Chain A
Amino acid sequence: GIQVEQSPPDLILQEGANSTLRCNFSDSVNNLQWFHQNPWGQLINLFYIPSGTKQNGRLSATTVATERYSLLYISSSQTTDSGVYFCAVESFMNSGYSTLTFGKGTMLLVSP
């Protein structure tokens, strides 16, 4: 099946710093999503971004599908950005339907 690798595995930032999280995947995909899991465990969908660039406030994401990677940018980080960031890409099951395969995540800690 498709492989999803995220880097770095852990990241510590001072509040106000910028960061870039990377997601590499082993095959071409039609779907890629970024999620944030807050310290209380809730998973929130940040971006649906199979290609191109999107921005939402201080967060933006870029997917270069032809080169099989996606980047998540966090600017002017805040303590509320802490948590785990997951990249998930489309994978096809034997049933013929597609589902999401998740990377292992990047754990981000933003300190005041």
Chain B
Amino acid sequence: NAGVTQTPKFRVLKTGQSMTLLCAQDMNHEYMYWYRQDPGMGLRLIHYSVGEGTTAKGEVPDGYNVSRLKKQNFLLGLESAAPSQTSVYFCASSYSDLSYEQYFGPGTRLTVT
């Protein structure tokens, strides 16, 4: 099993450009999450999904959109990138609710200039 994978690993964008980050998991997990990690801030939840076709806002959702068309994939979109979105983005998944452990992908380092 590959676990949780993220594409791409690195990306540099100019202000105003758009992009989509892809998260895939092969563990048949229901729940999937997108976090951002900034220096000294820990991880903050952007959006999450509790099942195929469902998404919900987390702590810092502004400027991001998500979609969960297939159970194994969770996409994070930036429609018009801003320098404040420079961060490391992590995807995670869990079998069900928080009674189960969360498993993390390797992260995507995004720089917006």
Question: Which A residues form the contact surface with B (CB < 8 A)?
Answer: 1, 30-31, 33, 35, 41-45, 48, 86, 88, 90, 93, 95, 97-105
Contacts and interface: CB of A to CB of B under 8 A. Distances in A.
A43 B40 contact: no
Interface of B: 33, 35, 40-45, 48, 50, 56-59, 88, 90, 92, 97-104, 106-107
A100 to B, nearest CB: 7
A103 B42 CA distance: 6
A97 B56 contact: yes
Instruction: Provide the main secondary structure of the chain A interface.
Output: strand
Given A33-B102, A99-B58, 16 more contacts: A33-B101, A41-B106, A43-B104, A43-B107, A45-B101, A45-B104, A86-B42, A93-B57, A93-B58, A97-B48, A98-B97, A99-B48, A99-B98, A100-B98, A102-B35, A102-B44
A93 B20 CA distance: 25
Contact of B97 (A88, A93, A95, A97): A97
Nearest to B92: A43
A41 B88 contact: yes
A93 B56 contact: yes
